[in-house]
Structure 1
Amino acid sequence: MKPIAAASWIHKWLALIVGVQVLFWFASGAFFAAYPIERVRSEHRIARAEPAALSLPQMRSGVDLAALLPEAPTRLTYERSASGREVAVAEFPERRPITIDLNDWKVTSPLTADAAAIIAQTYVAGSPRVREARLVTEESPEYRGVLPAWRIAFDDAEGLAVYVAADTGRVTARRSDLWRLYDALWALHIMDWRDHENFNSGLLLLTALTSLIVALSGFVLMPYRLRLPAFTRSSANR
């Protein structure tokens, strides 16, 4: 088979094999470039709060902080929750964290659905109406954060859902319809349709190398397709 005929055969059949995936790469790449990642992450929906210093309340009479904890924590932090309350979060090596409300020195974890909804509403600008509160105990393509967590879905045009860790009350993720579309296109882009995160797969590498061969064979054919005189004469003399 002549070199030009071989290049034409390779270009045609390999392009047919990888053509759909190349279209996915182009379409998803254009989408990624069109939407700022800050909007995909719903950063524009975060309620802006003025910084406020933590003021550790005095221990109430008869309250023993150690008695509220099952064992000595590996980490104890004082922070302001998304709802504005001052809390202490105790973390342990092998058990779930415990949250203590510093206003009344009571354990508030795990959060109830209503408490998680209040945190999520305070966290989101405009305090939209909650459509659904659902406890999540397993990872999914939409959420791989701290578990268990409450998924607080809002009744708004963006399909926003906020994840609140059930043990700490911390907001761990924001998901919207734009994010879900972005994630679906990302799965097509990296060819990981199950977990949406592995871009080192053999399938992706093979498809990329095949696409590279298609492009290189196209460059070989381009002078002949454009019928440049020097190349057409050379081809005719073979």
Structure 2
Amino acid sequence: MKTFRLMSQIHLWLGAAFGVQVMLWLISGLVMVIIPIETIRGEHLRSAEPQAAIDWSETARPLGDIIAEQDGVVTSARTGLLAGRPVWRLETAGGPVMVDAISGDTLSPIDEALAVEIAQARQVGLGEISTVSWLTEPPREAGLAIPAWRIDFAAGDTTPPTTFYINSQTGELRAVRTTAWRVYDFFWGLHIMDWSSRENFNSWWIKATSVIALLFGLAGVYLTVFRLWLMGRNRRPSGR
């Protein structure tokens, strides 16, 4: 009986320590399955990135001339569209460089006017642009480690306030963020027990909680088996 009482106390205290996190796992998991991931990512708020080759008209500048004007060594080049205009994306030792294929003008880093043009070209059903901000150190939600443009749209008729983050080097629409994403991100952090980067699945917090969960389960198994054994013992007919 001493062992039973000890295991009961262990089970009780482990349950108190572990129960709160279990509830957080259940609540955060419910939130994450209720909201479709496509909605979280804002895929319905942006148009697909255009996939088209440059119209090789007589006004387009030769690629060789464009490469020759670059300061560094160009390792590769590919065509694309940026806010509807044909561009070359040149890969260099200093990073990607966007060049207007018609005029030959270097577009990197992307200026404010072009960033707004890109955002307007990619948005779907959003309201008016409320603010445009240049970020030398974008927040974690931008998913960028280089300067970026933050463009905020006011709520539209059927759309929430929305933030676009645009890569300053390539003009890529890197992330679309809404209140739904930020709520999801908060609960994701609770779920994996990483409240800062939201990326670490192997923190000491989750390892310790896993050990507690294992001990809690083992104590529960012991108590259940012991109670079943007592019930069976008490139901035996007494001998004469």
| Per-residue CA distance 1:81-138 (angstroms, 9 max, x = gap) | 2x21111111212x24321111322112211222112201211112531122122222
Distance 2:185 2:150 in 1: 18
Secondary structure at the counterpart of residue 162 of structure 1 = strand
Answer yes or no: is the 8 Å Cα contact 1:48–1:125 preserved in 2. Answer: no
Instruction: Give the match for residue 126 of structure 1.
Output: 125
Instruction: Give the match for residue 112 of structure 1.
Output: 111
Does residue 214 (structure 1) correspond to residue 216 (structure 2)? The answer is: yes
Distance 1:195 1:23 in 2: 22
Q: How many residues align?
A: 231
- In the TM superposition, what is the alpha-carbon distance from 1:184 to its structure 2 partner? 0.9
Distance 1:109 1:165 in 2: 10
Does residue 201 (structure 1) correspond to residue 203 (structure 2)? The answer is: yes
Does residue 147 (structure 1) correspond to residue 146 (structure 2)? The answer is: yes
| TM-score under structure 2 length normalisation | 0.84
Does residue 85 (structure 1) correspond to residue 64 (structure 2)? The answer is: no
The answer to which of 197-206 and 128-137 deviates more is 128-137
Instruction: Give the match for residue 172 of structure 2.
Output: 170
| TM-score under structure 1 length normalisation | 0.84
Distance 2:26 2:86 in 1: 48
The answer to which of 168-177 and 209-218 deviates more is 209-218
| Per-residue CA distance 1:151-194 (angstroms, 9 max, x = gap) | 11111252321111111111111211111111111111111112
Answer yes or no: is the 8 Å Cα contact 1:223–1:231 preserved in 2. Answer: no
Cα 1:13/1:110, change in 2 over 3 Å = same
Distance 2:96 2:50 in 1: 27
Instruction: Give the match for residue 16 of structure 1.
Output: 16
Amino acid paired to 2:189: A
Cα 1:13/1:232, change in 2 over 3 Å = farther
Answer yes or no: is the 8 Å Cα contact 1:47–1:126 preserved in 2. Answer: no
Cα 1:57/1:17, change in 2 over 3 Å = same
Query: Structure 2 stretches of 5 or more lacking a match?
Result: none
- In the TM superposition, what is the alpha-carbon distance from 1:60 to its structure 2 partner? 4.7
Distance 1:49 1:201 in 2: 36
Cα 1:167/1:57, change in 2 over 3 Å = farther
Cα 1:232/1:7, change in 2 over 3 Å = farther
Cα 1:23/1:232, change in 2 over 3 Å = farther
Distance 1:76 1:185 in 2: 41
Instruction: Give the match for residue 100 of structure 1.
Output: 99
